[in-house]
Amino acid sequence: MKCQGCSSELVVSNIEGIKVLTCHECGGILIHYGELKKIAHPTIGDVDYSSVENMDESRHSKLACPSCGTAGMLDINFVSYSDIAMNYCKECKAIWLEKNTLEQINREIDKINHDKENWEHALSIFLSKLPF
């Protein structure tokens, strides 16, 4: 299976115990729907689902799917609202991450987790001030 970014042969790698295909030339990572939450930092919610549920099916990229060869993978964004771009194949549910995308995703997840802790902390202070 060849990388659609640079045409190198994809090789099997192991990320967080999950077998994925990666490109050693350009750093791309090929996973499938459901695997993003396994290789990225843990958080509440389903990051795979959140990323594809609101996808705009008119946003075709130039990439063909490395997995099934379908032309024009869809441009999607991690958890829909972030500016982290990924590519998704509707046919075989492959997700293509470019170099450093996983690091960006992990940073975003850390931010989400941190914001949630702050929010819970603020809520607990608010509740402790209530007269009961």
Asked if residue 85 binds Zn ion (CB under 5 A), the reply is no
Cβ within 8 Å of residue 50, ≥6 positions away? 79, 80
Query: Of the ranges 13-21, 48-56, 85-93, 97-105, which one interacts with Zn ion (CB under 5 A)?
Result: 85-93
3-state secondary structure of 41: coil
Q: Which of 81, 96, 89 is nearest to 4 (CA)?
A: 96
In angstroms, what is the minimal distance from the CB of 27 to Zn ion?
Answer: 7
Q: Which of 81, 85, 77, 79 is nearest to 101 (CA)?
A: 85
Q: Which of residues 1-60 bind Zn ion (CB under 5 A)?
A: 3, 5-6, 8, 23, 25-26, 28
Assigned token pair, 94: 């492959």
* Closer to Zn ion by Cβ: residue 74 or 109: 74
What are the residues binding Zn ion (CB under 5 A)?
3, 5-6, 8, 23, 25-26, 28, 65, 67-68, 70, 89, 91-92, 94
